[in-house]
Amino acid sequence: MSFGVLIPGIFRLAWIGFASDGVEPGWVVACGAVAIAMLVAAGLRLRRFPTPPAGDLLGRGYWGAVAFEAVAAVAGFVVIGLAGLPRSSSRGWIEIVVGLHFFLLSRAWMRRWWTRLSALGALLVLSGLVVISAAVGGAPTTVVSVFGGLVPGLLLSGWCLLHTFRSASRSSRP
């Protein structure tokens, strides 16, 4: 399984788990099952049609994006705490940071700011803004859990599946 499918596959399951405190357990289990099915489908597809090597994915650009994520996450948690914002705002902040991280990876790997990867990042940033707005606005926990857990988990699942099938169709051409 490729790096670009496995890493988001693990994180999407974790994100779906974040939704467990405000969403009916059946929804969390169903979304988790969908995410697992997508990961298995992606794995089976890649096994049948391996993708060509992607080059140096773990270069300076990657580590720069990871460093940005770490610093931004910690700084955001500090600001959220000092500002007295609800703790659930941190879910939205992490979504925003991960979304921005995808823009940085897009630039590092594809030498462009706008790609399918950065489109995923934009959707995560938008979802994160919804979470922060909902948390600060006093919305029910369900809203925060859906947009702070299920939505990003399913966005990552869909992106991985789309990426896998697009890569496999390109590598199966003569």
Determine how many CB atoms are found less than 10 A away from the CB of residue 76: 18
pLDDT at 4: 57
Q: Cα(first)–Cα(last) distance of the chain, in Å? A: 22
pLDDT at 1: 45
CA–CA separation, 66 and 123 (whole Å): 19
Name the pTM for this structure.
Answer: 0.76
Classified as helix, coil or strand, 1 is coil
Tens digits of residue pLDDT in 146-174: 888 888 888 887 777 777 666 555 555 44
Backbone angles phi, psi at 151, to 5 degrees: -60, -50
pLDDT at 71: 94
Block means of pLDDT (10 residues each) for the chain, length 174 residues? 59 67 73 74 63 62 89 93 89 92 88 85 94 91 83 80 64 48
Sign of CA dihedral 42, 46, 51, 57: positive
pLDDT at 174: 45
pLDDT at 80: 92
Determine how many CB atoms are found less than 10 A away from the CB of residue 14: 12
